[in-house]
Amino acid sequence: MSEIDYLQHLIAIFRHLDILSKLPEKQAELEPIRVQFRDLIAEIIKEES
């Protein structure tokens, strides 16, 4: 799997987490995970630049 493929998978997971974290009953549980994914994606993009 190339780094681009890996990044695309992470972004897809992030999008799902973003949607699910908007549900009131899941927000507290998923928000920290969503933030970790966001930070990981930002770090990967920064390293690639």
Q: What is the pLDDT of residue 24?
A: 95
Rounded Cα–Cα distance for residues 27 and 9 (Å): 22
* pTM value > 0.95: no
Say how many domains are in the chain.
1
Q: What is the pLDDT of residue 43?
A: 94
Domain hosting residue 36, numbered range: 3-48
Q: What is the pLDDT of residue 3?
A: 83
Asked if 44 and 7 count as a contact pair (C-beta separation under 8 A), the reply is: yes
- 47: burial class by Cβ within 10 Å (0-12, 13-18, 19+)? exposed
pLDDT in tens, the chain (49 residues): 788 898 899 999 999 999 999 999 999 999 999 999 999 999 988 988 8
Rounded Cα–Cα distance for residues 4 and 19 (Å): 23
Nearest to 41 by CA among 22, 21, 16, 13: 13
Q: What is the pLDDT of residue 31?
A: 93
